[in-house]
Structure 1
Amino acid sequence: MDWNRYRFRTLWSLPAAPTAVYAVLERPEDYPRWWPQVRTVTLLDDRTGVFTIRSVLPYAMNVTARETRRDPVAGVLEIAMSGDLDGWARWTLSADGSGTLARYEQVVSVNKPLLRVLAVPGRPVFRLNHRLMMRAGRRGLVRYLEAV
Structure 2
Amino acid sequence: MAGAEYRFSSTWWLPAAPARRVFDAVVDLEAYPNWWHDVRSVRRLDDDTAEVVCRSRLPYHLVIAMRREEEDPVTGHVRVGLSGDLEGFLAGALHAVGEGTRLEITQHVRACKPLLRKLDTVARPFFHANHAWMMRRGHRGLAAYLA
TM range, smaller chain = over 0.9
Maintained 8 Å contact 1:49/1:64:
yes
Matched, 1:7 2:28: no
- How far apart are residue 97 of structure 1 and its match? 2.1
Matched, 1:117 2:95: no
Give 2:129's aligned residue: 128
Deviations 1:95-129 (A, max 9, x none): 12210000010000001111111101100000000
SS where residue 55 of structure 1 aligns? Answer: coil
Give 2:99's aligned residue: 98
Maintained 8 Å contact 1:50/1:64:
yes
Give 2:41's aligned residue: 40
- How far apart are residue 3 of structure 1 and its match? 4.6
Give 2:89's aligned residue: 88
- How far apart are residue 44 of structure 1 and its match? 1.1
Give 2:18's aligned residue: 17
Structure 2 CA distance, aligned partners of 1:50 and 1:19?
Answer: 24
For structure 1, which segment, 127-136 or 93-102, has the greater mean C-alpha deviation from structure 2 after superposition?
Answer: 93-102
Structure 2 CA distance, aligned partners of 1:97 and 1:13?
Answer: 12
Ranges in structure 2 where 5+ consecutive residues have no aligned partner: none
Structure 2 CA distance, aligned partners of 1:106 and 1:123?
Answer: 16
RMSD: 1.2
- How far apart are residue 39 of structure 1 and its match? 0.4
Maintained 8 Å contact 1:3/1:123:
no
TM-score by length of 1: 0.96
Runs of 4+ with >3 A deviation: none
Once the two structures are aligned, what percentage of the paired residues are identical? Answer: 43
SS where residue 118 of structure 1 aligns? Answer: helix
> In structure 2, what residue type is equivalent to 1:110?
A
> In structure 1, what residue type is equivalent to 2:127?
F
Deviations 1:6-30 (A, max 9, x none): 0000000002110110011110000
Aligned pairs, number: 146
Give 2:61's aligned residue: 60
SS where residue 91 of structure 1 aligns? Answer: strand
- How far apart are residue 45 of structure 1 and its match? 1.5
TM-score by length of 2: 0.96
Maintained 8 Å contact 1:3/1:120:
no
